[in-house]
Amino acid sequence: MTDKIKVGIVGGTGYTGVELLRLLALHPSVEIVAITSRSEAGMPVAQMFPNLRGYLDLAFSQPDSAVLAQCDLVFFATPNGTAMKLVPELLEKGTRIVDLAADFRLRDEQEWQHWYGESHACPELLDQAVYGLPEVNRAQLKTANLVANPGCYPTAVQLGFLPLLEAGLVDSEHLIADTKSGVSGAGRGANVGTLLSETSESMKAYGVAGHRHWPEIRQGLSLASESKIGLTFVPHLTPMIRGIHATLYAPLKSGKKDLQNLYESRYKNEPFVDVMPAGSHPETRSVKGANHCRLAVHVPASGNTVVVLSVIDNLVKGAAGQAVQNMNIMFGFEEDAGLKIIGLVP
């Protein structure tokens, strides 16, 4: 396809919304025709986000299903529970959807209701949605009309564990994911807990008793291993703006394996997964602003525990960048179109 597709973004004022705008503004095959915000309707986008001056001449508008239905694709960068109320109508009118929130990530309606605290508005679509992890579902994404973009933690954790589980090399009932995220993962809304003076020079765990990303991770890993998954998932808030670092632990079943070769072989054709040389320790700053996941695999002291290090930018490979990657696959563009970005250092 050579013609530009028309794209709309619902919820353009948050961090994932502006990240979508940053990436799509220079995409060679995209025309952004609508950016919605109920609270900021009428405000020029570049007034709120001056980094877009000279690249985007649009104003925020009220969500209008008639306008959105004229788009080839609509991204939802909205709070959980918003997309599911508009998606059925847009799908009926032939508009394809990438939802960056969690409305379609879980296949089980009751589990979704348990974790998100409300009834699902269109449970009949849960089985139709394609989970947008390209490294797993690339073939299904090519024909998908509704894509559930993965969460940030689930992206880093699944990419780290997948080769081990697919090969059946580890005890899948005793997995541990020790994860750290930058403060932007909490969103753009004003909150005392994310003030600079509250987060600087401090680190804390949260959601230990239960986090919404846990069932999403478990669902994906269960499909990969075709067996029961036992997962301890502990997220932490760290004093940085962007980035996720996941330290993953899994017990080896038996014997020595060439895990470096396993990872390199699994991801050799993946444009956005970089398996680093043996002994490496990937840093979040190496993927800041870029759509890459960098991985390193270790077996400390030649023991029986595999340690995988996985880093991503939570706003790019963990959100907007992966959404653009999914769009590229859906419409037959080069998968890295609009995403040929090198991480920012320092």
pLDDT in tens, 102-111: 999 999 999 9
CATH 3.30.360.10 corresponds to the domain 153-314: yes
The model's pTM is 0.96
pLDDT digits (tens, 9 = 90+) for 158-210: 999 999 999 999 999 999 999 999 998 888 887 888 888 889 999 999 999 99
**84-97: average pLDDT:** 97
Active-site option among 71, 122, 152, 293: 152
Tally of helices (H runs) and strands (E runs) in the chain: 11, 13
211 CB neighbour count, 10 Å cutoff: 18
Instruction: Specify burial of residue 284 (Cβ count, 10 A radius: 0-12, 13-18, 19+).
Output: buried
CATH code reported for the domain at 5-128: 3.40.50.720
Which are the contacts of 226, defined by CB distance < 8 A and separation ≥ 6?
A: none
Stretch(es) of the chain classified as CATH 3.40.50.720 = 5-128
Dihedral sign of CA atoms 105, 110, 111, 117 in order: positive
Quick check: 1 pLDDT over 50? Answer: no
- For residue 152, indicate whether it is catalytic: yes
Residue 310: in which H helix or E strand, if any? strand 305-312
pLDDT digits (tens, 9 = 90+) for 218-258: 999 999 999 889 999 999 999 999 999 999 999 999 777 89
* Mean per-residue pLDDT over the chain, rounded: 95
Stretch(es) of the chain classified as CATH 3.30.360.10 = 153-314
